Amino acid sequence: MVSIKKIAGDVGVSTATVSNALTGKGRVSREMVDRIRTRAEELGYRPSNAARALKTGQTGIIGLVMPDLTNPLFPKIAQMLSIAADKTQLGVLIADSRGRADEQSEALKRLLDRGVDGLIVVPQKGTTPDAVPVPIAVINTSSDPRNAVSADHIGGGALVARHIRDIGHRRVVLLGGDKVSEVQRDRIEGMTRAFGADVTAEIFWGTRGVSYAISAIRGGATAILTTSDLIALQVRSELLRTDLPVPGRVSLTGFDDMSFAPIMHPALTTVAQNVEEIATRAIDILSAKIRGQTHPHDGQTVPMRLVVRQSTSIPTEPAKRRYPT
């Protein structure tokens, strides 16, 4: 391992001068900087993060805590985060909270012990991360008061809802996965708000919601709006089993534009998050906090994007005709 000392010896200056030349902090002459830089290059010098961290108290590493790395959306966050992070020379240390609130706390502790400079937390649904002694950026949804950045789930809900209303549906079913999740509640909230009085919407939650939704369709509803592509796929399977054609008889929508959404049959109409933007902002906001500054985007949401595919169409048997109000 070649250290600053070796370079100093070679060039014939003190280690402090080398440090200054390399980091560009103190006062060093142009030519001296060049000599040191080239020598460092020749030797293939790599600064020791450990030494720097010890002296400065900053490790250049941030921690990422996610509720469950298994959720098909999180990989993308992790990926984008890791890409955004190494643009700013940060390392990303991961921790999985295994879907449990207590593990989330444990994960936070482990990361703090490693000396991370800050944390990015996608909270366990229905929980609030513990207070921590380092800056933290929460990715959740706008209704979370601690939210630093997230997709505009309410707006996303409104997007699909308006699409469904505009193509003529008047009686629909909203299907959520877990009522504890703020994200899913916000999506549903966005839908109902956008519908207003124009559209009649029944809301169901959880696994058993799927069969209720099917009953509602039999009762005359013409569309099922879910809060997740995974739920949409499940509904699709059930509709296949009960011989209700999509989108012929039932229009179906998901959320998050997961990997399988475009290759389902019919391809699923869904709402996509701009994960890249969210990840970039999360890093920016956290970096700003670490530097003791505040970021202009802190607390703001990123718009979602409606992806219309083949699973939605105009209702062939609008509810009103069969069951006039």
Partner DNA sequence: GCAGATTGGTTGATCGATCAATCAGTGGGG
Partner DNA sequence: CCCCACTGATTGATCGATCAACCAATCTGC
Q: Is 59 in the site for its own copies (CB under 8 A)?
A: yes
Measured from the CB of residue 279, what is the shortest distance to its own copies in angstroms?
A: 11
Phi/psi of residue 27, nearest 5 degrees: -110, 110
Q: Is 105 in the site for its own copies (CB under 8 A)?
A: no
Phi/psi of residue 293, nearest 5 degrees: -100, 175
Q: Is 314 in the site for its own copies (CB under 8 A)?
A: no
Identified binder of DNA from the candidate list 9, 26, 126, 296, rule CB under 7 A: 26
Q: Is 96 in the site for its own copies (CB under 8 A)?
A: yes
Identified binder of its own copies from the candidate list 87, 218, 265, 291, rule CB under 8 A: 265
One-letter amino acid of 9: G
Measured CA to CA, the distance from residue 271 to residue 119 in angstroms comes to 28
Positions 54 through 73 that interact with DNA (CB under 7 A): 54-56
Measured CA to CA, the distance from residue 150 to residue 140 in angstroms comes to 6
Q: Cα dihedral angle (200, 156, 227, 220), rounded to 10 degrees?
A: 20
Identified binder of its own copies from the candidate list 259, 293, 294, 316, rule CB under 8 A: 259
Which is nearer to DNA, 25 or 241 (by Cβ)?
Answer: 25
Residues shown for the chain? 325
Q: Is 270 in the site for its own copies (CB under 8 A)?
A: no
Tokens of 153: 């789930």
C-alpha of 194 from chain center: 24
Binds 131, which of DNA, its own copies, none (CB < 5 to 8 A, cut-off by type)?
Answer: none
Measured CA to CA, the distance from residue 101 to residue 108 in angstroms comes to 11
Check if the beta carbon of residue 262 is closer than 8 Å to that of residue 60: no
Which is nearer to its own copies, 86 or 102 (by Cβ)?
Answer: 86
One-letter amino acid of 286: L
Cβ atoms < 10 Å from Cβ of 233:
18
Binds 197, which of DNA, its own copies, none (CB < 5 to 8 A, cut-off by type)?
Answer: none
Residues that bind DNA (CB under 7 A): 1, 3-5, 12-17, 19-20, 22-23, 25-29, 32, 45-48, 50-52, 54-56
Binding footprint of its own copies on the chain (CB under 8 A)? 46, 48-51, 53-54, 59-61, 64, 68-72, 74-76, 78-79, 82-83, 86, 91-96, 98, 110, 113-115, 230, 233-234, 236-238, 240-241, 259-260, 263-267
